[in-house]
């Protein structure tokens, strides 16, 4: 019987790429997100892999719990949980920050991870594996990153605490903390300003979602006695959160 991976934020970017990678590795999938049409397209693309689609916002605790409770019998046991859903909104000094942006980041990046983990853990047994998507922003502050950095620092600490708490159950817990990855991330952060989003990657070859997915697939397919606990991954052109080599 195939193992089952539960992936949040699977409609685009790293989540989508991870779904493709784990399908190739033989997992059946529960893919979740807010954009049903994209998830349905992904499920069709991954055929004949068994895929169950769930549409909810990780910030909605009741919706998360209902979705997990309603999983079909064939998807009831979860072997791998990828807590990928998250967001960045705005880039402003703390005194000028938009409170709605703060709420969106803390609710999605921190509380959403907690809601999903709590709903899935009763369906995970010995040998389970949780991967939380953090960021270099959780390790290094940078100008105007304040609340986003704080939310990803929370992911780093939650990951370490979860690893301790779940040790008696034989469940591995890891964090992947990427640097610059070209996804819809910057478009969301800059509220649809495509030119500003594109400028983030100007003169740089960033990581691609597939690079992160390849790493995640490697991590979750290690032997049961091996746990890769934390990985920071940069493109070659990046040395730290705000230290990037740009070429004309």
Phi/psi-derived region of residue 210, left when phi > 0, alpha when psi is between -120 and 50, beta in every other case: alpha
Residues with catalytic function? 148
Are 173 and 149 within 8 A, CB to CB? no
Tokens 């992904």 locate to: 42
245 near 205, Cβ under 8 Å? no
Sign of CA dihedral 33, 103, 138, 116: negative
Give ∠ CA 107-119-114 in degrees, rounded to 5: 30
Per the DSSP assignment, residues forming a β-bridge with 207 are 181
How many Cα atoms occupy the beta-carbon half-sphere of 225 within 13 Å?
A: 0
DSSP state of 44: H
Contacts of 199 (CB under 8 A, 6+ apart): none
Query: Does residue 37 sit in helix, strand or coil?
Result: helix
Angle (CA) 170 4 54, round 5°: 120
Q: Measured between alpha carbons, how far is residue 108 from residues 8, 78, 180 in Å?
A: 11, 22, 20
Taking alpha carbons only, the member of 16, 14, 31 closest to residue 178 is: 14
């Amino acid at each position: 019987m195939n193992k089952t991976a539960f992936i949040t934020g699977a409609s685009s970017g790293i989540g989508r790429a991870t779904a493709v990678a784990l399908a190739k590795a033989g997992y059946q999938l529960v893919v979740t997100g807010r954009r049903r049409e994209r998830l349905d397209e992904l499920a069709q693309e991954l055929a004949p892999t068994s895929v169950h689609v769930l549409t909810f916002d990780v910030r909605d605790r009741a919706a998360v719990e209902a979705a997990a409770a309603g999983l079909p019998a064939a998807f009831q046991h979860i072997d791998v949980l990828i807590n990928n859903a998250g967001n960045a909104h705005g880039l402003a000094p703390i005194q000028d920050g938009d409170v709605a942006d703060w709420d969106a980041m803390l609710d999605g990046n921190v509380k959403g991870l907690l809601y999903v983990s709590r709903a899935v853990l009763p369906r995970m047994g010995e040998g389970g594996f949780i991967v939380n998507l953090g960021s270099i922003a959780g390790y290094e502050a940078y100008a105007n990153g304040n609340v986003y950095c704080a939310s990803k620092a929370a992911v780093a600490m939650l990951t370490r605490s979860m690893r301790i708490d779940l040790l008696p159950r034989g469940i591995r817990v890891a964090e992947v903390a990427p640097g610059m990855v070209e996804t819809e991330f910057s478009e969301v952060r800059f509220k649809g300003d495509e030119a500003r989003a594109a400028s983030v990657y100007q003169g740089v070859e960033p990581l691609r979602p597939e690079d992160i997915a390849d790493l995640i697939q490697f991590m979750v397919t290690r032997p049961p006695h091996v746990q890769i606990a934390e990985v920071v991954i940069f493109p070659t052109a990046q040395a730290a959160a705000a230290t990037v080599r740009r070429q004309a």
